[in-house]
Structure 1
Amino acid sequence: MEQKVSASSAMPQMEQLIDVKQIWLTLLKYKWKILFFSIMVTAIASLVALSKPSIYTATATLMIESKQAKAVSVEEVYGLDTRINEYFLTQFEILKSDSIALEVIRKLDLTNNPEFNPALVEEQKLLDISFDIYELLPFLKGLRKPAPELSEDEASYRLEQRVLATFKSKLAISPVRKTQLVNISFSSTSPALAAQVANEVGNVYIESNLDSTMQVANKASGWLNERVAKLKADLQASEARLQAFLREEGLVDIEGVGGLASQELNELTSQLNKARDRRVAAESLYNLAQSSTNNVARISAVPEITNHPVIRDVKLAVSNAERKISDLAKRYGPKHPKMKAAQAELKSAQKNLDRELRQLVKGIGAEMSAARQAENTIRREIEGRKAEFQELTVKNARYSEYQREVDSNKQLYDLFLNRYKETSASSDFGSTIARFTDVAYQPLLPSAPKRKLIVLMAFVASFGFGCVVAFVLEALNDSFTNAKQVETTLGVSLLGILPLVKSKKDKLPTYLYYDDKQRAFSEGVRTIRTGYMLSNMNHDNHSVLVTSSEPSEGKTTSAINLAFGLAQLEKTILIDCDLRRPAVAKRFNLPAAQPGLANLIAGTHTFEECLVKDETSGLDILSAGLVPPNPQELLASDRFGLLLEKLKQRYSRIVIDTAPCQAVSDAYLLSQKVDSCILVTRAEHTRTGVVKHTLGKLVQQGVKIDGVILNRLNLKKAAKYSGHGSYYEYYGYAEKAPETAKVTKTEKESV
């Protein structure tokens, strides 16, 4: 199980290695083009970078105060407040504003500087060029539109706006993060001007703030002066109204009078409550006493009466008399003089108690009347005092109204008076909103253009772009570039490769097969011959059709050289069945009137008259002859079929060259009359889809496909960039092999 997992995990690594290798091979394939493109682009970028003037950047640093300092507060002069982010953002935008930039432009007279106003130099050049053009081409004068006339103000405004746009493009305001510092950078071709402008922007910003502060202070001082005068008049008027009211009402201190009246009213109310309690208590006691007038015992049981000092003393006397009788009764009888005296004393005490009780009841009635009278008197007094208090409350409300008006006017007057005095005292104090922490100095080195970086980036970008283009071209190239690609793409065997042979006008020599200097080509033909014969070893096949998908793929060359190779082993005939554009006769320099296949099928000539014997190779050749108007009908005729049957009895191998499959259908027609077929395709030329389509149609016709010949393949290039150098090594070995003009008897026997 562990071995299976390791094997499966190794597969993606193998695929990744193959992909990396293919990428490397693609880069090697296009390396000189990529390097040439990169060097050209880098050279152009170098020229452009060198042609651009050096730009110098100077930077000044300002610290912006969070609040404007005041002369009356030392803490505010040095105080910082970093909580107001919107304030700093506003100051940064003010530094970038057009008003600051225009002031700097006017101060430094930048409108007359060629760096900011290129029109000073270019206008004359344009005028000279236009003059020359109109002088050389007079007919263009009628098409020339006169320039619109502008007033002096409009022209000045437009010029200033152009200079302003150029100025702002060179100015950079960058706040330092989490600080109150801001960097003012300016770029120019002149280092002195760059430093001067950077410092001047900060100075103009500070001066503009001072001017605006002074203007605001002066305006505020004048406005405060007017307001103070008006508020003073309002305060005096309100105080006069208050004094008049006090005189009219005869009041000195209405607050004290009101407090005394309120205190008296509260005391009368308290007395009324006490009088009411006294009257209620007297009425209750009087009513109770009246209900018990005939019963002395009930009257004496009332707590208020019992607790009266007189009644308490009388009752004490009665109690003593009763106790005395009780003591004497223990020793004497009822008729004893002491007993009688004691009883007489008891009766006298009881009568005295009854008399005092009745007298007390009368006093309670008088007390009740007095309590009622006192209550009524206090109530009448309260009603009178209430009326007076209400009248006093109305006066107090009017007094409070006048007093509030006086107080508010006094507060406003004091506030504005203090502010006016502060403003007047500090109006001539020129506090700055910002100050320089670092002034700009003339830079020693240019900041732009970064020529080394431009050249490096140009090379990297162009090299990367060249690699991308190479990958795109390689992806779009669906032609055959190596031998292995033929078998993997088409699924058929590769008979062999014919290497690319350079020649004038792409016309190869007819007898290239016998050229000692082209050993690779000869070996390629022999390889194709061997592959063809091996594929038909167990079949009694004599005729083979050599065709291609498109014209100019080398089918005629392949057919001729295959016939040369077969002729060395067996008796072979080469037939040119391309009756539309025959090429075999031209290759062998046959006369134009030479009869051939068309004449033979038509019956105008005999076979011996049409047959040509090549002395160099011993190959029999049957050319196309005169081009007929109906080539397909001739090839489909029974006479052509009978001809092939007779030739099979006379020749061991019949090599037929025919028209391309995509151009006409002659090849498909001939494929039904031959034993097998060989398809020729041109390396790096024919698209794989076209070859697949041709093979598919041939297979549908039931044709036996012996294989594919890959023609005009650059062996060195294929070996170097495909990663498969076996073919090239093989052909290189063939070039070093001893010269072999003819096949030995051993080779014949092996074949």
Structure 2
Amino acid sequence: MNDVSPNSQVQHEPLFDIGDLLMLIWNKKFRIIITAGAIVTLLGYYVMQMPKVYSAKTTLLLGESSAEMSLPQGLASFASAGDSKLDTYLQYMRSRQFAERVVEQSGLMFRAELVNQNQPDSAKRLAAAQRLQNGLGYSRLGETNMVDVTFESTSPQLAADVVNAVGPVFFEYQQQKSQDRAQDASRWLNEQFEEVERQLEASEATLQDYFLENRLIDLASQISLASSEISTYMSQRIQVDAQAAEMKTMISQFEASGDDVQGLLNVGYIVKNSMVQDLRKRILDEEEDLAEISQRYKFKHPRYIAQVSKIDAMTRELESLIKKLVASLKQEYQIMLERSEEINKLIDEARGRHSELGQHEVNLAKLRREVESTQKLYDIFLSRLQETEILRDLGGQEEFSVVDFASVPTSPSKPNFVLLLAASVVFAGFISVMGWLFIHIVSDKRSRVLSVLASMDVPVLTEIPRIFRTRRKLSTVLKASRDNMRFAESIRTLRTALIVRNDLDENRVIAVTGVKPNDGKSLVAASLSESFAKLEKSMVLDADLRYPSISGAYKLKESLPGLTSFLGNSAPAGKCIHKITDTQLSVMPSGIIPQDPMVYLSKPRFKAFLHKLSIIFERVVIDVPPLEQYSDGLVIGRNVDAIILVCDLEHTETAELVQAIQKLRDVGAPLVGVVFNRVKNLPAAPGQSRRSYLKIPFLHRRKKTGILSPETA
């Protein structure tokens, strides 16, 4: 047994292959041809009734302005609303304003072919403009400046007149617009020129006043002189600072020596002094003389004393000279410091003058730039003003002309009867094929379900016709089904399929369930049990403990004991089974409806009871709840010999049927096949013509006269 998931076969199983499609088309070829012929006839009649439309075309040249005489884009950008003049022209020609201008200047509003002449003039003008705006077509010829203008109308003369009026009206409008634009540009340029002229005069006067106020003659020379002066002062300050530093070093040496003459004599400045050198030489000479005298005379000798006094006087003179030199050096150092400060002041003054001259130079450069820029703008406006005056005198320079005037068309452009008829044939054939294919796909749900069941290896046991179009009580439907030949034949087919089933075990206990509620499983169970009762001892058991209906089908009292009474040990089996008079059929109703049916159906007592029933009766048919909402059928299915799944094709989706089959297979229920219930347009039974089938209700009505019913027959 092949287990198939509920969705795999439904999603991937094709409705039919290409061979089926071709066969379907071949089988319905006459219907397709007749339908296509009817569509072609309707379309052909519509095409022949279409009015003849004439198309006229003229070619216009919309050239650009001459480059030498065009207004500058920077100052006359208002002359073009877009980047391309040709696009601007085309957009204007498509506007309502241009359409109204053409209508007014060419008198088209008085043409009866274009508008209704019974309207007032304002309404006629608006209607004609609307017609022209919607009907005129413009197309550019490649990358050129030429444009094709087309218009379609049922009147060939009107089509030619409309397109021939477009060019002159547009050219006149552009000529007037060019003159107005030149006048506006000239007026605007004059105003701007006067303003620039005033700005130039004011900037020149400001520059001259700045020279006079600051007494500037040759600013570059003054700046160069100030720079040279600063450089000279800087050189002087460097020299003075160097001398002052040297003096400061010597003064530091003096201070370090204190009043020691010998220490001061070690200072280079003192030693190098010529007076000090001369005086020291004289002292040395006198000391040599003293040494010679001391060899001859004692220290008390007058000559010795005189020589010593002379040396002391010279020594004191040397000390005095050294002190004077030290004092002179210090005084000179102070003079150097004062000179350095004086030079710094001179440098600061020179830098101030240089900075002031630099600021004057910046201001003058700014004033000069302002004068130069104003002068350039003045020159530009002057030249453009002269060009504008020339343009205004010469007029517009646009190259507008009609390249090819439209002639009155002699043959209609629309409709193309041959092409439309050919397209109608193709369209009609396609629609006819697709329509019948769609009808087949929508109406042939049965074929799709059969294909899915075949892939799952589940047979269709029988197909039961629909008796009533609306739902009615089971007793009413069961009564009507006994007299319906097609219904009876379908039940007999189901009975035969169960009897001749090639299994080891006999199908003695048979459960009948449905995919969804109201699929008609109770009717099938009751009818099948009645059909078995004609051959053998049979019983129908109502195991639908939620919505029982078997007792109502046979008009038994609801208070009679039944299945729940027996399983609940409240009544013996003999009182729960009720035999139908004059038949081999017995009925066991559901009994009292319990709150939880699974409490009764899952008991071992229920399984043992079914086994005993299979011994007592040849066939036991059990009415089981549907599988979509309840699991009762899955529990019962494990305790029976065969289970039948009833499906209402009209109200059951393929996926729901597959899911119900899969549920039974998952619990190992012995599913023998599917029964299609309430099938519409079911073929007539073997040996019965369609006409005789239509008379079945008549046979039922004449049953009282002695004519046998189909079931009895």
With structure 2 as the length reference, what TM-score do the two structures score? 0.50
With structure 1 as the length reference, what TM-score do the two structures score? 0.47
